Structure 1
Amino acid sequence: MRRRTPAVRALLFVLFIVVPLVEIYVLVQVGQVIGAGWTILLLVADALLGTWLMRREGARAWRTLREAVEQGRMPATELADGALILFGGALMLAPGFVTDVFGILLILPFTRPFFRRLLSAFVARRLVVNVTRPGTQGRGPESGPGPVVRGEVVDDD
């Protein structure tokens, strides 16, 4: 079993301890300023706005994804947009103003390109590509875990 790195532990700590505490603090502060009833009404209105926005942008992302596939293009941007909209919608479902702000930023079409670049950079850092140089025949530090066997795939059907 793999051990968690310190960065993963820190991220989990922030997600499960710091974020809820910040949300509670902000809710209490807003409630003291505008009252409990208005705070609850604002949270409900915020959730309704987020739901409407997520449906609208999700439908648009689905449409552009279908168009990219029909045109034979790799739908990388469209898939990233769909993931960001889905994640933003999940943040909108969590009660609280802080997560709602981040959720709306992920969903809005004019702020999404910034987060798309962050997502692309994250994926590129995590992606490991194993390339064998021509002529090394699998015998170099940049090659895979064994020799390269050249062959032909024969289908019995």
Structure 2
Amino acid sequence: MLIRLLLLFTIVPIIELALLIKLGNYVGLLPTLGLIAITGIIGASLARSQGFLVINQIRNKLSTGSLPADSLIEGLLILIGGGLLLTPGLLTDVTGFSLIIPITRKAIRRVAKVKLKNQITKGNIQFSFFGNNKSSRDNQEYNWQQTDKKDNDWNNLSDSIDVDFKEVDNDNEDDNSKKNK
């Protein structure tokens, strides 16, 4: 993984620089700088608008009680695409636009979803629920649909449970109910 990151952060900037120099020699310095600025501006505004659309999709899914898995993946792709569009370069701009434009983003989402599912199945990606350090396989074994379990199963969920409460003064309620009678 370290070698991949090292190659990514060294080879990609070298290729980007070479492409920008070639483009600058072909069309000139000012048009090349203008192209970099325009793609950054258009990319930022497109990423912003697409991001708001995905956020609304997530809200709608959550309000209906369904999980927004596809929308979350699309949100991540938009975030990555926006970051790529802010970095100067032609390759990063093409990649960034492909992650932000809805048609290409959906195709990339399908591929990413399959790869993510394969990594989870292999056990290369693990999830932690409720603060436990169990792998995704351990958490899948716990059947959330079982309702006939005893109260001691709450111990399996977490060391702590967050609750909201409202304190009610029972004495005042009793007084108010007696006055109304």
Q: Distance in 1 between matches of 2:51 and 2:154?
A: 43
Greater share of residues in helix:
2
* 1:54 alignment partner in structure 2: 47
* 1:130 alignment partner in structure 2: 137
Structure 1 segments, 4+ long, off by >6 Å, are none
* 1:34 alignment partner in structure 2: 27
Q: Distance in 2 between matches of 1:24 and 1:59?
A: 33
Q: Distance in 2 between matches of 1:54 and 1:130?
A: 35
Deviation, 1:119, is 1.6
* 1:21 alignment partner in structure 2: 14
The answer on 1:64 being equivalent to 2:64 is no
* 1:94 alignment partner in structure 2: 87
Deviation, 1:106, is 0.3
For structure 1, which segment, 45-54 or 119-128, has the greater mean C-alpha deviation from structure 2 after superposition? 119-128
Q: Distance in 2 between matches of 1:36 and 1:104?
A: 23
Q: How many residues of Structure 1 are paired with residues of Structure 2 in the alignment?
A: 133
Match of 1:45 among 16, 38, 59: 38
* 2:165 alignment partner in structure 1: none
* 2:161 alignment partner in structure 1: none
TM-score (norm 2): 0.67
Pair 49,153 (structure 1): closer, same or farther in 2 beyond 3 Å = same
Pair 130,154 (structure 1): closer, same or farther in 2 beyond 3 Å = closer
Pair 66,154 (structure 1): closer, same or farther in 2 beyond 3 Å = closer
Deviation, 1:152, is 2.1
Deviation, 1:151, is 8.4
* 1:103 alignment partner in structure 2: 96
Residue 74 of structure 1 aligns to a residue in which SS?
A: coil
* 1:115 alignment partner in structure 2: 108
Deviation, 1:125, is 2.5
Sequence identity percentage: 31
Computing the radius of gyration from Cα coordinates, the structure with the larger value is 2
Deviation, 1:28, is 0.4
Segments of 5+ residues of structure 2 without an aligned counterpart are 124-135, 142-149, 156-181
Segments of 5+ residues of structure 1 without an aligned counterpart are 1-7, 135-149
